[in-house]
Chains A and B, each alone.
Chain A
Amino acid sequence: MARVDNVTKGDLAQIITRLSKLENATPSSRTSVGRGVFRMYDASELLIEDGNFRVSGSASITGTLTGSGTVTWTGPSNWNGPTNIGGSCTITGTLQVNSTTTLNGAVTLNNNLTLGTGTIKAGSVTIDKLGTASGRIWSSGQMVVSGTSVYLGASTTVAGPLGVQGNINASGDVGGNTKSFWIDHPTKPGKQLRHGSTESPAHGVEYWDTARIGSNGKVTVTLPDYFEALTLQQQRNVQVTAVGQPFAVGADRISAGKFVVYGAAGRDVDWHVSAVRSFFDVEPDAA
Chain B
Amino acid sequence: MAWSVWACDTVTGTRLQKLPQPAAFSWARALNEGSGGSATIPLRAANFAGLNLKSLSTPLARTWVLDWDGSAVYAGIIEDRIYNHKAGTLTLPHSDLWTILDRRLAIDHREPVAKVVHQSFTSLSSATVAKKMTQLGIAGLSDMNMLLPITFSADSSGPITRKYYGYHFAWLGDVLRDLMNEDGGTDIDFRPRWLANKLDWQMRTGSLTSGTFEWHLGVDKSGTIGLTVTEDSSKVATASYAIGEGSEVDKLARSRRVIDPPIPFLDRITALSTEDNEDALTRYAIGDLAAFQKPTEQWGFSTMASGTPAVSDLLLGGSAKTWVQEDPWLSTGWHNNRIIGFSGDLSEKVKLQLQPGVL
Docked pose: A1 CA to B337 CA in angstroms:
13
With A24-B169, A27-B247 known as contacts, the answer to whether A4 contacts B274 (CB < 8 A) is: no
- Contact flags B313-342 to A (C-beta < 8 A → 1, else 0): 000000000000000000000000000110
* Interface presence of A109 (CB below 8 A): no
* Interface presence of B296 (CB below 8 A): yes
- Contact flags A1-35 to B (C-beta < 8 A → 1, else 0): 11111111100010001101110111101111110
Residue of A nearest to B188 (CB): A2
- Chain A residues in 8 Å Cβ range of B63: none
Q: Which of A1, A7, A17, A32 contacts B251 (CB 8 A)?
A: A32
Task: Tell me which residues from 286 to 320 in chain B have a Cβ below 8 Å from any Cβ of chain A.
Answer: 287-288, 290-292, 296, 298, 300
With A7-B232, A21-B170, A21-B174 known as contacts, the answer to whether A29 contacts B276 (CB < 8 A) is: yes
* Interface presence of B245 (CB below 8 A): yes
B170 and A2 within 8 A (CB)? no
B30 and A9 within 8 A (CB)? yes
* Interface presence of B32 (CB below 8 A): yes
Q: What are 19 A-B pairs with beta-carbon distances under 8 A?
A: A2-B188, A3-B290, A4-B33, A4-B355, A6-B30, A6-B33, A7-B298, A8-B353, A9-B33, A22-B271, A26-B245, A26-B274, A27-B245, A29-B246, A31-B246, A31-B247, A32-B246, A32-B250, A33-B247
With A24-B168, A25-B274 known as contacts, the answer to whether A34 contacts B296 (CB < 8 A) is: no
B30 and A26 within 8 A (CB)? no
A24 and B235 within 8 A (CB)? no
- Chain B residues in 8 Å Cβ range of A24: 167-170, 274
A17 and B357 within 8 A (CB)? no
Task: Tell me which residues from 216 to 274 in chain B have a Cβ below 8 Å from any Cβ of chain A.
Answer: 230, 232, 235, 245-252, 271-274
Docked pose: A24 CA to B296 CA in angstroms:
31
- Chain B residues in 8 Å Cβ range of A29: 245-246, 276
* Interface presence of B133 (CB below 8 A): no
Docked pose: A13 CA to B180 CA in angstroms:
15
Dominant SS at the A interface?
Answer: loop
Docked pose: A78 CA to B340 CA in angstroms:
69
* Interface presence of B31 (CB below 8 A): yes
Number of interface residues of A (CB under 8 A): 25
Question: Distance (Å) between the CB of B241 and the closest chain A CB?
Answer: 14
- Chain A residues in 8 Å Cβ range of B162: none
A3 and B180 within 8 A (CB)? yes
Q: Besides the contacts A2-B126, A6-B340, what 19 more A-B pairs have beta carbons closer than 8 Å?
A: A2-B187, A3-B32, A3-B287, A3-B290, A5-B292, A5-B355, A6-B341, A9-B33, A17-B174, A20-B174, A21-B274, A22-B271, A25-B274, A26-B165, A27-B273, A30-B245, A32-B249, A32-B250, A32-B251
- Contact flags B126-165 to A (C-beta < 8 A → 1, else 0): 1000000000000000000000000000000000000001
- Chain B residues in 8 Å Cβ range of A25: 168, 245, 273-274
Chain B interface residue bracket vs A: 35 or more
Docked pose: A54 CA to B340 CA in angstroms:
51
- Chain A residues in 8 Å Cβ range of B247: 27, 30-33
B291 and A5 within 8 A (CB)? yes
A30 and B252 within 8 A (CB)? yes
* Interface presence of B21 (CB below 8 A): no
A7 and B230 within 8 A (CB)? yes
Docked pose: A13 CA to B273 CA in angstroms:
16
Task: Tell me which residues from 141 to 184 in chain A have a Cβ below 8 Å from any Cβ of chain B.
Answer: none
With A3-B181, A7-B298, A32-B250 known as contacts, the answer to whether A18 contacts B245 (CB < 8 A) is: no
A22 and B251 within 8 A (CB)? no
B298 and A6 within 8 A (CB)? yes
Question: Distance (Å) between the CB of A200 and the closest chain B CB?
Answer: 101
Question: Distance (Å) between the CB of A24 and the closest chain B CB?
Answer: 5
- Chain A residues in 8 Å Cβ range of B341: 6, 8
* Interface presence of B177 (CB below 8 A): yes
A1 and B250 within 8 A (CB)? no
- Chain A residues in 8 Å Cβ range of B33: 4, 6, 9, 13
- Chain B residues in 8 Å Cβ range of A34: 248-249
- Chain B residues in 8 Å Cβ range of A1: 207, 290-291, 357-358
Residue of B nearest to A26 (CB): B245
- Chain B residues in 8 Å Cβ range of A4: 30-33, 180, 291, 340, 355
Counting chain B CB atoms within 10 Å of each CB, which of A5, A13, A20, A27 scores highest? A5
* Interface presence of B186 (CB below 8 A): yes
